[in-house]
Chain A
């Protein structure tokens, strides 16, 4: 007998998200993803100066801040026909690199880990044993028994205070938690450590970007931070980069693989079929050829066959979304006409549109990028992915899963951290030989159209602009979470998260931590909660944890 579960709000994400699933015989049989907030940035942009657009669009998201700024700048540069000079490209690449490192660290430790890590169990751990395990997992991790003891005491004191704060009502003690107390303690210690590390990592953004979140050093045609291109600033950046890279190599990646070792069954849960990557990090003027992470599309999990991407084949459906009309339109001629109504999974149930590429729902994000790079023979990706599969002793098929998505994210973090060194050095070389241009001038045309693509922490991001009378006539954004968390298309095909949830085991419908695991593995950029609906009475009843 099928039962409906609603989780609203889904916490530990950006924004407002609601997930509804149907469960039968302990497994999810159907799912609906709804985003429940509409702000209307695209409407707000109409009639404004195209040069201002990036400052507005950056406010689409303050978690993966910067990325909507860069997409907009690329989009307007495409429209006005200007190419930023090499130093501006390098600085932008570095800032994007920082964004991905930062975002993935915060995602794993602060947004995702509590689905796998039982903080309460950490209180039972033996700190000596924890230290032994930690040193096995990562010999360079440098944590002794006293470090773990201190964390445990700090935690104990917190619990004893009776004010449980952010840990109130967690799913503690749920049978789906599989880590031994010592591993829970290690992960909790690193949760706290990562809170500090991420603040230091974000400082790299401030070095060339003024501040984080919401950087302020881009301009159409280049970057404004010419005065920061000096040895002091570059070494400050280099120092912070090195510190972050150490954390990724010695803490983050080893932690992910160690935790994954206890959850290998999740290597067969939460997978999708089709993947799209726009690619990122232009290393020259030609795109997509010069991209460090390649562009490509994979259908039906055929890793050996990566197709070129034809952006004209993207459309957005609105049949199941709260917008007027039911025509599927290309974003360059897209419309945003809100028409809110009651949430009804059979009719309209989301503010998110449903983007499709060649009529298919496509997963975007770290896993898509890693798969496309792997399929294209990208050397560093091949090596790290093969190593991880070997260490975990799982088949390549396990990549298409919640586990694969989580591991893929950690792997790409390392790949990008490693690559950044080269870009810093290239910048140094440029400056050494007197190449210090940071801006290329342009004339704002009366009429123009442009597109800006990038691949950001959560996946493929595209902005489209139409300029008339030197003002914005139309602006459309197709964002990663629209791809991943969108509803059904006109043909009724589910979106990637909806597809991924099908088959997820649910041990206890009142405490569906399993739903959070898969939903969080996509790093949604929207927020949510769980209610149970009985399909016979349509009554929504709420369930409690702990």
Chain B
């Protein structure tokens, strides 16, 4: 089958212009560090006929990571929902509630055992045997122990699922842990971490596309973050870098220097110690990112940043 033709047709059915769609594919391939010639293959992977089953679990979280995905514009969230992924369970958008939702989860895990992607948002409370977080009468710890090992791989979306996040900040009242820490050897599956509070949705999409395209997960750094997104520091990609080199620093909010976009190092910027691609992809369809809005980077994609990077307004 000529894939180009079928893609065209499918896109037309969806009312998406081909130009808009290719812009998206190019964007994803750029984020993933692939040559532009990959764009058509990405298009094919994303609109393939069999949708990848995804079980999306929400634990000790704020739903910010899920909301971030809703803001995806490359592709739009409705395309992810209807054409790319098969969202078998997710509490935030699921039509069914209570027992019907529980059943959907159970059925999906049975039907797709070893074939579904398990996406986890939120940390897992482990203190008191997990009593601080319950869903449908079970602790989040029990649920994770049950579901995650049955997946083909676990994607931790956000810093909470990756490293514990805000719930695990000192004194960590609920013993909150990232998924891998909480489960230990009970999780004999590949794990990818997409930290950020919340992460840029394109880093999640890039990871999924990588799988759809190459049949494997992307290359990871020592913390299991995809290198395509977390391979360089913010500082190394920051448009204010020349001000840093020239010793041109902002010393007060709202000052002339702030207006001129000087370096935020003295205001507390954690860019030099933070690995992420914010300066290049930016957020919300490339609209902005913290340093552009004159605010220091708080290091939100690093493990334990709530403790190690704070106080946030103190220079490194």
Partner of A11, one of B65, B96, B306: B96
Whether B77 is near chain A, meaning CB under 8 Å from some CB there, is: yes
Whether A261 is near chain B, meaning CB under 8 Å from some CB there, is: no
Question: Given A9-B97, A43-B173, A214-B198: A163 and B51 within 8 A (CB)?
Answer: yes
Q: Which of B263-309 contact A (CB under 8 A)?
A: 283-285, 287-290, 292-295, 298, 306
Measured CB to CB, the closest approach of chain A to B189, in angstroms, equals 22
Enumerate chain A residues within 8 angstroms of B261, measured Cβ to Cβ: 227
Q: Are B64 and A195 in contact (CB under 8 A)?
A: no
CB-nearest residue of chain A to B112: A163
Enumerate chain A residues within 8 angstroms of B100, measured Cβ to Cβ: 169-171, 511, 530, 543-546
Enumerate chain A residues within 8 angstroms of B289, measured Cβ to Cβ: 210-211
Q: Which of B128-153 contact A (CB under 8 A)?
A: 128, 131-137
Question: Given A12-B93, A161-B51, A529-B136: A39 and B166 within 8 A (CB)?
Answer: yes
Measured CB to CB, the closest approach of chain B to A337, in angstroms, equals 10
CB-nearest residue of chain B to A527: B91
Enumerate chain B residues within 8 angstroms of A60, measured Cβ to Cβ: 62
Q: Are A224 and B253 in contact (CB under 8 A)?
A: yes
Whether B184 is near chain A, meaning CB under 8 Å from some CB there, is: no
Q: Are B167 and A39 in contact (CB under 8 A)?
A: yes
Enumerate chain A residues within 8 angstroms of B97, measured Cβ to Cβ: 7, 9-12, 516, 528-530
Whether B88 is near chain A, meaning CB under 8 Å from some CB there, is: yes
Bound complex: CA A437 to CA B100 (Å): 54
Whether A135 is near chain B, meaning CB under 8 Å from some CB there, is: no
Enumerate chain A residues within 8 angstroms of B86, measured Cβ to Cβ: 161, 163, 165
CB-nearest residue of chain A to B64: A62
Main secondary structure of the interface of A (DSSP, over half): mixed
Bound complex: CA A544 to CA B167 (Å): 34
CB-nearest residue of chain B to A195: B78
Whether B219 is near chain A, meaning CB under 8 Å from some CB there, is: no
Q: Are B254 and A212 in contact (CB under 8 A)?
A: no
Q: Are B87 and A166 in contact (CB under 8 A)?
A: yes
Question: Given A163-B53, A216-B290: A530 and B94 within 8 A (CB)?
Answer: no
Partner of B72, one of A199, A200, A218, A511: A199
Bound complex: CA A455 to CA B61 (Å): 23
Enumerate chain A residues within 8 angstroms of B66, measured Cβ to Cβ: 62
Enumerate chain B residues within 8 angstroms of A65, measured Cβ to Cβ: 64, 67
Enumerate chain A residues within 8 angstroms of B125, measured Cβ to Cβ: 37-39
Whether A40 is near chain B, meaning CB under 8 Å from some CB there, is: yes
On chain A, the number of residues with a Cβ less than 8 Å from chain B's Cβ atoms is: 104
Q: Are A199 and B99 in contact (CB under 8 A)?
A: no
Bound complex: CA A527 to CA B61 (Å): 11
Whether A205 is near chain B, meaning CB under 8 Å from some CB there, is: yes
Enumerate chain B residues within 8 angstroms of A14, measured Cβ to Cβ: 62-63, 92
Q: Are B53 and A16 in contact (CB under 8 A)?
A: no
Q: Are B61 and A62 in contact (CB under 8 A)?
A: yes
Whether A441 is near chain B, meaning CB under 8 Å from some CB there, is: yes
Enumerate chain B residues within 8 angstroms of A222, measured Cβ to Cβ: 253-254
Centre residue among B66, B81, B91, B167 by max chain A CB count within 10 A: B91
Bound complex: CA A544 to CA B102 (Å): 9
Whether A121 is near chain B, meaning CB under 8 Å from some CB there, is: no
Q: Are B98 and A9 in contact (CB under 8 A)?
A: yes
Partner of A63, one of B63, B171, B290: B63
Q: Are B135 and A8 in contact (CB under 8 A)?
A: yes
Bound complex: CA A285 to CA B306 (Å): 33
Q: Are B173 and A8 in contact (CB under 8 A)?
A: no
Q: Are A210 and B87 in contact (CB under 8 A)?
A: no
Q: Which of A51-59, A242-250, A403-411 is near enough to bind chain B?
A: A51-59
Whether A207 is near chain B, meaning CB under 8 Å from some CB there, is: yes
Q: Are B293 and A217 in contact (CB under 8 A)?
A: yes
On chain B, the number of residues with a Cβ less than 8 Å from chain A's Cβ atoms is: 93
Q: Are B169 and A56 in contact (CB under 8 A)?
A: yes
Measured CB to CB, the closest approach of chain A to B86, in angstroms, equals 4
Partner of B198, one of A62, A195, A544: A62
B-contact 0/1 string along A25-47, CB 8 Å cutoff: 00000000000111111011000
Partner of B71, one of A199, A437, A542: A199
Question: Given A170-B100, A199-B73, A210-B292: A119 and B95 within 8 A (CB)?
Answer: yes
Question: Given A56-B306, A169-B96: A226 and B259 within 8 A (CB)?
Answer: yes
Whether A49 is near chain B, meaning CB under 8 Å from some CB there, is: yes
Q: Which of A434-484 contact B (CB under 8 A)?
A: 436-439, 441
Whether B90 is near chain A, meaning CB under 8 Å from some CB there, is: yes
Q: Are A199 and B77 in contact (CB under 8 A)?
A: yes
Bound complex: CA A184 to CA B169 (Å): 46
Whether A300 is near chain B, meaning CB under 8 Å from some CB there, is: no
Q: Are A219 and B99 in contact (CB under 8 A)?
A: no
Q: Are A213 and B67 in contact (CB under 8 A)?
A: yes
Q: Are B60 and A39 in contact (CB under 8 A)?
A: yes
Partner of B98, one of A10, A13, A38, A55: A10
Centre residue among A12, A18, A166, A438 by max chain B CB count within 10 A: A166
Q: Are A219 and B295 in contact (CB under 8 A)?
A: yes
Bound complex: CA A530 to CA B100 (Å): 8
Bound complex: CA A451 to CA B274 (Å): 34
Q: Are A202 and B284 in contact (CB under 8 A)?
A: yes
Bound complex: CA A51 to CA B288 (Å): 23
CB-nearest residue of chain A to B250: A224
Measured CB to CB, the closest approach of chain A to B285, in angstroms, equals 6
Bound complex: CA A543 to CA B136 (Å): 13
Q: Are B294 and A527 in contact (CB under 8 A)?
A: no
Partner of B173, one of A40, A85, A192, A531: A40
Whether A428 is near chain B, meaning CB under 8 Å from some CB there, is: no
Bound complex: CA A220 to CA B294 (Å): 14
Centre residue among B98, B101, B128, B293 by max chain A CB count within 10 A: B98
CB-nearest residue of chain B to A529: B98
Measured CB to CB, the closest approach of chain A to B292, in angstroms, equals 7
Additional pairs, 4, CB under 8 Å, beyond known A44-B170, A63-B63, A119-B95 = A39-B167, A40-B174, A165-B51, A228-B294
Closest 4 CB pairs of A and B: A62-B64, A530-B98, A439-B254, A211-B283
Give me 12 A-to-B residue pairs in the complex whose CB atoms sit less than 8 angstroms apart, sorted by A's number.
A9-B136, A11-B92, A12-B91, A44-B172, A49-B314, A61-B62, A62-B62, A63-B63, A203-B285, A219-B295, A528-B97, A542-B103
**Interface residues, chain A, with chain B CB atoms under 8 Å away:** 6-16, 18, 36-41, 43-44, 48-49, 51-52, 55-56, 59-63, 65, 85, 106, 110, 114, 119, 147, 150, 153-154, 157-158, 161, 163, 165-171, 192, 195-196, 198-200, 202-203, 205-214, 216-219, 221-228, 236, 338, 340, 343, 436-439, 441, 511, 516, 527-531, 540, 542-546
**Interface residues, chain B, with chain A CB atoms under 8 Å away:** 13-15, 49, 51, 53, 58, 60-68, 70-73, 76-78, 81-82, 85-88, 90-104, 107-108, 125, 128, 131-137, 165-167, 169-174, 176, 197-198, 252-255, 258-261, 283-285, 287-290, 292-295, 298, 306, 310-314
